[in-house]
Structure 1
Amino acid sequence: MSVSAADIDFALELFDGLGPLTHRKMMGGLCLYSDGTIFAILHSDASLWLKGAGDWADHMTAECWELWTYSRDGKKTTAMPYWRLPDAALDDPDEACRLARAALACL
């Protein structure tokens, strides 16, 4: 399954306040970049995930954001450095951009 054009448009509009963004389909979804740095992934189920590192990853963990994990064919579960964007930010572009800027500051 791939991301829909409507979902891509939504994500780009949500993060429009960050300035010019680029994107690229990969990892079964769409990677979003600001100034060449990946900061978010849009999954094919339309969920948005922010990349985390350092203090920002610690913050998202402390706030109990959902961490992206996966497992293949009975192998151990692997965690990726992405946390699901809170639902409240999906309805608030200013909040989504604030969170994305915090993520970008730690990458």
Structure 2
Amino acid sequence: MPIHPEFADHLRELLADVGPIRLRPMFGGLGVYRDDCMFGLVMDDTLYLKTDPASVDAFRDAGGEPFLYRPVRAGHVPGYWTPPAEALESAAAMRPWARRALEAARRRPARRR
């Protein structure tokens, strides 16, 4: 399903506090980037932010939902979660969630090529 331009504009406003972002098409959705660091993805007009073991509990405890592309194997924690609904209301409410996601993305070790 395509991403609505209005939703993309809304995301740019919400995420402005983490700096200039880019939205790049990928696999039927969008990747959300700050510099060359992907810290979010958008599928079906839903924002998912990058998590890691240090941040996933905050997203889960706030009522976030995981991005599930395939059935999850036992013990696996998905790497992207929705922020709480109230974070989609203002840049100030989104700020701590976006920063957590950016920090998680930057902590991720670089993949070998």
Q: With structure 1 as the length reference, what TM-score do the two structures score?
A: 0.82
Name 1:74's counterpart in structure 2. none
As a proportion of its length, which structure holds more strand?
A: 1
C-alpha deviations, 1:64-90, integer Å up to 9, x for none? 42111134xxxxx13641101211001
Name 1:61's counterpart in structure 2. 60
Q: Distance in 2 between matches of 1:5 and 1:31?
A: 14
Q: Distance in 1 between matches of 2:82 and 2:41?
A: 9
Name 1:91's counterpart in structure 2. 89
Alpha-carbon deviation of 1:106?
Answer: 2.4
User: Given residue 4 of structure 1, which amino acid in structure 2 is its aligned partner?
Assistant: H
After superposition, residues 11-22 of structure 1 pair within 5 angstroms as 11-22=11-22
8 Å contact from structure 1 (residues 31, 42) kept in 2: yes
Q: Distance in 1 between matches of 2:62 and 2:21?
A: 27
User: Given residue 99 of structure 1, which amino acid in structure 2 is its aligned partner?
Assistant: W
Q: CA-atom RMSD, angstroms?
A: 1.7
Secondary structure in 1 aligned to 2:64?
coil
Aligned residues: 101
Runs of 4+ in 1 over 4 A off after TM superposition: none
